[in-house]
A and B are shown apart, each in its own frame.
Chain A
Amino acid sequence: MALLEIRNLHAEVDGEEILKGIDLSLDTGEVHAIMGPNGSGKSTLAKVIAGDPGYEVTDGEVLLDGNNVLEMEPEERAREGMFLGFQYPVEIPGVSNTYFLKAAANAIRKHRGEPEVDAAQFLKHVRERMQLVQMDESLLKRPVNTGFSGGEKKRNEIFQMAVLEPRLAILDETDSGLDIDALRTVSHGVNALRSPERSFLLITHYQRLLNYIVPDTVHVMVDGRIVKSGDKQLAIELEESGYSLFEEGSAA
């Protein structure tokens, strides 16, 4: 059974249909990339899977381990092992990064019937995970994303993922706004977390991310639909031909 199964997913915002029938199947341990031009609905797909209440699902199913997540609150989905790396991470003034992560980790543990994290052990775990994305330790004490540079925010997302160890990580344009060094670091973090127990859904606009994180499958999304799927070669073809080929194709 696939870890994530999406069937005929339709979603709209303010009455405008963005997702027009998405089908996608992602197995445990796989890395899939979704590419597409601006406005194709990639980010909407990521947010709908994670349960952003700003979108309305009008048809279709999203199953995690065969369970319908559309009936779950976003926090329940997260506790079931779903993680969304935000394209625009949100600032939470006055709440330290560590405190925030501890609250999240404890909520997930409670859901699993596990005791709260031990403070000292948690800090050790957090420090180890910081190494993965070469994040400065001072960011731990700073309020969540507050005053972070664009690159720091993106690293912080990968760092949070590394700490929370989800089964399914959806990374929404994690590469945008990163310089080449930061992109390498972030990719290194993601690759280090690749495992047979963990799946990734990478949302990206550019092929360059896929030079560092090599996907098993690439999907091309245009105007709310997946118009083509293939292996990593598809991404390279896209880089040469651009999306216009598919846009015309979908119009035909």
Chain B
Amino acid sequence: MSASNETIEQVTRKGYEYGFITDIEQEYAPAGLNEDIIRFISAKKEEPEWMLEWRLEAYRGWLEMEHPNWQKVRFPPIDFQAISYYAAPKKKPGSLDEVDPKLLETYEKLGIPMHEREALAGVEKPEGEKPDVAVDAVFDSVSVGTTYQDKLKEQGIIFCSMSEAIHDHPELVQKYLGTVVPRKDNFFAALNSAVFSDGSFVYIPKGVKCPMELSTYFRINAGHTGQFERTLIIAEEGASVSYLEGCTAPMRDENQLHAAVVELIALDDAEIKYSTVQNWYPGDENGVGGIYNFVTKRGLCAGKRSKISWTQVETGSAITWKYPSCVLKGDDSVGEFYSVAVTRNRQQADTGTKMIHMGKNTRSTIVAKGISAGEADQTYRGLVRVNPTASGARNYSQCDSMLIGDRCGAHTIPYIDIQHPGAQVEHEATTSKISEEQMFYCTQRGIGAEEAVSLIVNGFCKDVFKTLPMEFAVEAQKLLEVTLEDSVG
């Protein structure tokens, strides 16, 4: 192997920075899955009867379903009876001020702001200071706090944990839950519907533009558990919101399951931008441990001229298996998917999107960038479907893969299903490597090898990074540096 190839290899090996464990007293559901466990979870959350019934129905459906096997990721069969489906800190906080200091410390360590800043009347924020972000912090199975709730409420915006929403806004939950991702949509969605714990609920009323970014930070802490997040975002007519999601977990040598369901609903002229920076523990360099990130994310552009954008930066998880999708039902609605997925060591990813065109003049854009290093294997899998009703539909897809080293894999599997003769669908795909010529060109200008790799990879991802909210873009860029950085010998 030549010197520069060696450098690139070294640069792509680097430890995980968020692998610590918070030492806190937690209570668990006993391992295993049956109707009693579901009753236990529902009772813990003091849920109304309809919610329990909804869960049980999902569970019964799940029992009859088979684990899918079409994915291009490999893992030993999951023992669903060995997982504990509920873990929560013992001390229940009443308000933000009462949150266990250890938890606050945890979020501080992760760089998540859990304090609301006092807004001073008449004082402008100094330039360059970060804008306010409202945070819902989910720790294992429960939300431990949500900031800026009162301020948001002034405009009628609801931002709370799913558990709270079930109590306080049952009419909205009942109206929308499971309407985009039905309970029996797929194996993991059914499992999630049966045992889901916390996640966020967002409701933006008619005509309201959410004044700050909303974000949920998911942290898995407990061992031998799974996290089954459930998020529901509704933007009424003319409303808009930008929502961010971040995730980390401790380093453990077991595999932990994160099976989430996220549903987005955009009514007429509404806009939802959903950004994810996923940094679950990826396992060690031999492929031991790490999170199985098996997630169903789907947005429904229900209204005319509505728009849903998914942006994701995926660097973590032992296995990532998800397809954030848009169902473009309203006429003139727009769906977007921008993704950067980095896999290294033994990580595997089978990810992409689905754009389902139903309404007239619907448009979708897909930009997916995959970077594979070490012995990682990555697949872009995407579906573009144009239904017979979708006259004037247009899609543009671009899938680029970058390979680092010679033992990793990248695959692109586009499914295109066109049932309207007027559809315009474009698909472009490239596969490239960081060439020795590029490395030499950079180093010859004085740029060190590590910085050169990060420069080239960031350049490769630029189309996606520029779609991220400002603050997140910086974080994503840093994350990529951390992921790919290492001491060069």
A90 touches B (CB below 8 Å): yes
Docked complex: B424-481 residues within 8 A CB-CB of A: 435-438, 440-449, 451, 455-456, 458-463
**Would you call A143 and B459 a contact (CB within 8 A)?**
yes
**Contact yes or no, A75 B449, CB < 8 A:** yes
- Which of these, A77, A90, A103, A164, contacts B441 with CB under 8 Å? A90
Please determine whether A75 and B441 come into contact, CB atoms closer than 8 angstroms: no
Q: What sequence of 0s and 1s flags, for each residue 72-109 of chain A, a beta carbon within 8 Å of any chain B beta carbon?
A: 01110111000110101111111100001101100110
Q: How far is the CA of A78 from the CA of B449 in the complex (A)?
A: 13
Question: Whole-angstrom distance between the alpha carbons of A89 and B441 in the complex?
Answer: 8
Given contacts A53-B2, A103-B455, contact A92 B441 (CB under 8 A): yes
> Is B4 close to A, CB under 8 A?
yes
Interface code A56-86, partner B: CB below 8 Å = 1, 0 otherwise? 0000000000000000011101110001101
Residues of B contacting A91 in the complex (Cβ-Cβ under 8 angstroms): 438
A104 to B444, CA, bound (A): 9
Instruction: Please state if A90 and B438 are interface contacts (CB–CB under 8 Å).
Output: yes
**Number of residues on chain A facing chain B (CB within 8 A):** 32
What CA separation (Å) do A54 and B3 show in the bound complex? 8
Partner of A94, one of B4, B446, B451, B458: B458
Contact A92 B444 (CB under 8 A): no
- A168 within 8 Å of B (CB atoms): no
Partner of B447, one of A51, A89, A90, A103: A103
Q: Does any Cβ of B come within 8 Å of A160's Cβ?
A: yes
Minimum C-beta distance from A140 to chain B (A):
15
Establish whether residues B446 and A104, one from each chain, have CB atoms under 8 Å apart when the complex forms.
Answer: yes
Cα distance A90–B444 in the bound complex, in angstroms? 12
Q: Output the nearest chain A residue to B464 by Cβ-Cβ distance.
A: A94
Tell me which of A50, A79, A83, A92 contacts B442 (CB under 8 A).
A92
Q: Which A residues between 100 and 120 are near B, CB-CB below 8 angstroms? A: 100-101, 103-104, 107-108, 111
With CB as the reference atom, state the residue of chain A lying closest to B6: A53
Q: Is the interface of B mostly helix, strand, loop or mixed?
A: helix
In the assembled complex, the Cα of A100 lies from the Cα of B443 at a distance in Å of 11
Verify A93–B459 contact, CB threshold 8 A. yes
The answer to whether A75 and B446 have CB atoms under 8 Å apart is yes
Whether the Cβ atoms of A73 and B443 lie closer than 8 Å is: yes
In the bound complex, CA of A51 to CA of B446 (Å): 12
Q: Does A52 contact B (CB under 8 A)?
A: yes
On chain A, the residues within 8 Å of B435 by CB distance are 90
Contact partners of A93 in chain B: CB under 8 A? 459-460
Q: Identify which of A54, A89, A95, A111 gathers the most chain B CB atoms within 10 Å of its CB.
A: A95
Closest Cβ of chain A: how far from B339's Cβ, in Å? 15
- With A92-B459, A95-B458 already in contact, the answer to whether A78 and B441 are too (CB < 8 A) is no
Residue of A nearest to B460 (CB): A94
Contacts of B460 in A (CB 8 A): 93-94
Determine the chain B residues whose CB is within 8 A of the CB of A79 once the complex forms.
Answer: 446
CA separation between A90 and B410, bound complex, in Å? 24
Contact A103 B458 (CB under 8 A): no
Chain A 155-199, CB within 8 Å of chain B: the 1/0 string?
000001000100000000000000000000000000000000000
State whether A52 touches B459 (Cβ < 8 A): no
CB–CB A160/B445 < 8 A: yes
With both chains docked as a complex, state the minimum distance between the C-beta of A201 and any C-beta of chain B, in angstroms.
14
- CB-CB < 8 A to A88: which residues of B? 437
Known: A52-B440, A53-B3, A92-B438. A78 touches B459 (CB 8 A): no
Given A53-B3, A90-B435, A94-B463, check contact A100 B445 (CB 8 Å).
yes
Closest to A107 in B: B446
* Minimal beta-carbon separation of B428 from chain A (angstroms): 14
B372 to chain A, nearest CB (A): 17
CB distance from A77 to the nearest CB of B (A): 8
Q: Report whether B445 and A104 are in contact in the complex, using a CB–CB cutoff of 8 Å.
A: yes
Contacts of B347-392 to chain A: CB distance below 8 A: none
Residues of chain B within 8 A of A143, CB atoms compared: 459
- When the two chains form their complex, are residues B451 and A107 in contact, meaning their CB atoms are under 8 A apart? yes
Least CB distance, B401 to chain A, in whole angstroms: 13
Q: Please, which residues of chain B bring their CB within 8 A of the CB of A108? A: 446
User: CB distance B449 to A86 under 8 Å?
Assistant: no
- Whether B443 pairs with A75 at a CB distance below 8 angstroms is yes
**A89 to B, closest residue via Cβ:** B441
Measured in the bound complex, the distance between the Cα atoms of B440 and A111 in whole Å is 18
User: What is the CA–CA distance of A86 and B442 in the complex, to the nearest angstrom?
Assistant: 12
Bound complex: CA of A75 vs CA of B444, how far in Å?
5
Would you call A53 and B438 a contact (CB within 8 A)? no
Instruction: State A108–B446 Cα separation when bound (angstroms).
Output: 6
Q: State the CA gap A183–B194 with chains docked (Å).
A: 72
Complex contacts, B446 vs chain A, CB 8 Å: 75, 78-79, 104, 107-108, 111, 164
On chain B, the residues within 8 Å of A74 by CB distance are 440, 443-444
Closest to A53 in B: B3
Tell me the complex Cα distance, A107–B461, Å.
23
Complex CA gap A202/B435 in Å reads 26
Q: Are B444 and A95 in contact (CB under 8 A)?
A: no
Contact, CB under 8 Å: A94 / B441: no
- Which of A53, A79, A111 is most buried by chain B, counting CB atoms within 10 A of its CB? A53
Q: 29 A-B residue contacts at CB 8 Å?
A: A50-B444, A51-B443, A52-B440, A53-B3, A54-B440, A73-B449, A74-B440, A74-B444, A75-B448, A78-B445, A78-B446, A79-B446, A83-B445, A86-B441, A86-B444, A89-B441, A90-B435, A90-B437, A91-B438, A92-B438, A92-B442, A92-B456, A92-B459, A93-B460, A95-B456, A101-B445, A103-B447, A104-B447, A164-B445
B residues contacting A by CB (< 8 A) are: 2-4, 435-438, 440-449, 451, 455-456, 458-463
- What are the nearest 6 A-B pairs in CB distance? A94-B459, A95-B459, A94-B462, A78-B446, A104-B445, A53-B3
